[in-house]
Amino acid sequence: MWERAGQTFERTLGDYFRERLDGCADALEPRPEEDTLWYVGATLARLGDSRQLFSYEEGQLRLRPLALLYKDAHEASADHERCLILRQLGDQALFIGALFPELYARKGFQQDYFVGMGGGAYDYLADNAASHRHVFAELAERFSSFLDLISQACARRGSNHVEDVLALYRQWCATGDEQLADQLVMMGISLDGNEQVH
């Protein structure tokens, strides 16, 4: 929580990411639309929850490969289902392509793979989604730039590196430790009614 002119504000994990993205967005020309920055910040917060990123398959939590998500979308019988799967594909490509490029590069996946998969998914959504078409259009057109923006926004700066914040948040969710809660609050993260990250 923080105060400005007698008003009290609470910051969620999504707010934290949007603030970081907003601080780096001026480096892009043209500057990304506010709706798109909001969407990306919310996506980072949502996928920070392992229940949203991983799926339960064959008795284990696994990260479904982008190629299999593409196959699922191709085989979907209804357009609504196809859009849901492609949104998951685009969001996942954006998240892992920006935050874990070295891990996937060791497996032979370069940035162009994430750009092709994620950009293609968002391109379809720009024409077919029920809402946020302008957001998906910008993400499709500038996918590579958004990978760089997310990477820069989440780069280590003192003790507030995104991975550190998520790890601290997960630990607090698992233990309820008051000292961890105090550390998160000092970073400006609201713990009241906040989406849980596991």
Distance between CA atoms of 142 and 126, rounded to whole angstroms? 13
pLDDT string in tens for the chain (198-residue length): 445 555 544 568 888 888 889 988 988 889 999 999 999 999 999 988 777 888 777 788 788 899 999 999 999 999 999 999 999 999 999 999 998 887 777 878 888 999 999 999 999 999 999 999 999 999 999 999 999 999 888 875 544 567 777 777 777 787 777 766 766 776 667 776 554 444
Distance between CA atoms of 160 and 75, rounded to whole angstroms? 42
Average pLDDT value over all residues in the chain: 83
Give the Å distances, CA to CA, from 42 to 20, 35, 71, 74, 161.
12, 11, 26, 26, 17
Distance between CA atoms of 94 and 125, rounded to whole angstroms? 15
**Cis amide leading into 30 (omega within 30):** yes
- Helix (H) or strand (E) holding 165, with range, is helix 162-175
Q: What ranges do the domains of the chain cover?
A: 1-155
* Residue 86 contacts residue 97 (beta carbons within 8 Å): no
